[in-house]
Structure 1
Amino acid sequence: MANDIKYRCYNFSLDTVRYLKDKNWNSFSSIVAKQLMRSAMSIGANVVEAANSSSRTEFKRYYEIALKSGNETKYWICILRDGFEIKENELKLLLKECDEICRILASSILSLKKKN
């Protein structure tokens, strides 16, 4: 399971980068795009940090941070979708994958809390 979430986060980051790099952003929408890229990559970075943590508490904390980054990422995707009226299927797929990753992280966090 741990490798699955790392793999999904890595691919989600790559999909986000690929989606954003090919767009012709204006100065205002580029701010939102950069925020989206930062938060999307933060999810995977924190999951990788969790894998190298020295305690269960530290592991859980990194997952909590990854979940917060995931929620922030969903926010930025929705801002692009609604604020800039981008209705592309790719954006919908990014939102769906981010939501699924967040659900996995939340479930893992709950399991870790029950074990304490």
Structure 2
Amino acid sequence: MIVKLSFEFALDIIEFTELLEEKRKYVIANQILKSRTSIGANIREAQNAESKIDFIHKFKIAAKEADESEYWLLLCKFARNYPESEPLLNKLQEMKRIISKIIITSKAR
């Protein structure tokens, strides 16, 4: 589920960054695109982890990227003349909860 969710989220981010670029918000668009698509990339890498430690590590990186993504999206939310980011923030919160549960569950095993 998290693999599919993170992939769909990355697609949403691509569309959002295209809106930002149309508004000539290139710096923010670039930051968001890198951090947001990295979440899914790390989750995908975790699927082929060499060990439990490696699996947890990849998910921790995804969690860090999610936190960074949240920062950039909050900037968009509160800055003037930026596209609406609330739906993306809501999806991100859901992903952060799932990532956190996966990390906690994996550590407990």
Question: TM-score over 0.5 for the alignment?
Answer: yes
Q: Take 1:18 and 1:87, find their aligned partners in 2: how far apart are those partners?
A: 11
Structure 1 portions without partners, runs of 5+? none
CA displacement 1:35-88 (0-9 Å, x = unmatched): 011000000000000001110110000000001000110110001111235362
Q: Take 2:29 and 2:100, find their aligned partners in 1: how far apart are those partners?
A: 25
> Are 1:36 and 2:32 matched, yes or no?
yes
Match of 2:71, as an amino acid?
Answer: Y
Could you tell me which residue of structure 2 aligns to residue 99 of structure 1? 93
> Are 1:58 and 2:54 matched, yes or no?
yes
Root-mean-square deviation (CA), in Å?
1.3
Using a 3 Å threshold, how does the CA distance of structure 1 residues 101 and 69 change in structure 2: closer, same or farther? same
- Pairing of 1:81-100 with structure 2 (within 5 A): 81-86=77-82, 88=84, 91-100=85-94
Q: Take 1:5 and 1:30, find their aligned partners in 2: how far apart are those partners?
A: 29
TM-score with structure 1 setting the length:
0.87
Q: Take 2:39 and 2:104, find their aligned partners in 1: how far apart are those partners?
A: 18
Number of aligned residue pairs: 108
Q: Take 1:78 and 1:84, find their aligned partners in 2: how far apart are those partners?
A: 12
Q: SS of the residue aligned with 2:45?
A: helix
Of 67, 76, 79 in structure 2, the residue corresponding to residue 80 of structure 1 is 76
TM-score with structure 2 setting the length:
0.92
List 4+ stretches of structure 1 deviating above 6 A: none
